[in-house]
Amino acid sequence: MRVGIGYDVHKLVENRDLIIGGVKIPHEKGLLGHSDADVLTHAVIDAIFGALAVGDLGSHFPDTDEKYKNADSLKLMEYTYKLMNYMGYKIGNIDCTIIAQSPKMAPYLDEMKENFGKILNTDLKNINIKATTEEGLGFTGKKEGIASQCICLILKK
């Protein structure tokens, strides 16, 4: 068994879609990034890469590579799953936190879990996604950005 931690943050800006956990969420702003800037999916991918000890998101999908411009992060997760599977591991469990003052994430959490469960070939009981605000404090509390954290346990198959 191996454990990894992932963290990601992106700035909120106008004229971008807000995509979190592969779900397009209605909001007046979206996240700025080279790909779709999906902070939750990025944190999960980084946690898996950490558990596998194979680097990080930037080393596998550099923001200097045009083929990842506006990339769908769920496609990046598919690559991550294939690598994990090739190395002989499967998901034990993942636990994630989205840190955002707004919008409210609760209506979208189940769809996010379903997206991850399907791609990572794991039962939904192995995935936990929760959301919190920072009570108006910090950059997320001031609605300047959204962050996400994830811890992942992988098991030898």
Q: Alpha-carbon distance 94 to 51, whole Å?
A: 11
User: Does 8 appear as a known binding residue?
Assistant: yes
User: Does 133 appear as a known binding residue?
Assistant: yes
Q: What are phi and psi of 21, to 5 degrees?
A: 65, 25
User: Does 111 appear as a known binding residue?
Assistant: no
User: Does 110 appear as a known binding residue?
Assistant: no
User: Does 36 appear as a known binding residue?
Assistant: no
User: Does 124 appear as a known binding residue?
Assistant: no
Q: Where are the beta strands (DSSP E) in the chain?
A: 2-13, 18-20, 23-25, 30-31, 89-99, 127-132, 145-156
User: Does 10 appear as a known binding residue?
Assistant: yes
User: Does 138 appear as a known binding residue?
Assistant: no
User: Does 59 appear as a known binding residue?
Assistant: no
What is the per-residue DSSP string for 13-56? Answer: ESSS-EEETTEEE--S-EE-SSS---HHHHHHHHHHHHHHTS--
User: Does 100 appear as a known binding residue?
Assistant: yes
User: Does 149 appear as a known binding residue?
Assistant: no
User: Does 34 appear as a known binding residue?
Assistant: yes
User: Does 102 appear as a known binding residue?
Assistant: yes
User: Does 71 appear as a known binding residue?
Assistant: no
- Residues of each annotated binding site: 8-10, 34-35, 42, 56-58, 61-65, 100-106, 132-135, 139, 142
- Residues of each annotated binding site for a divalent metal cation: 8, 10, 42
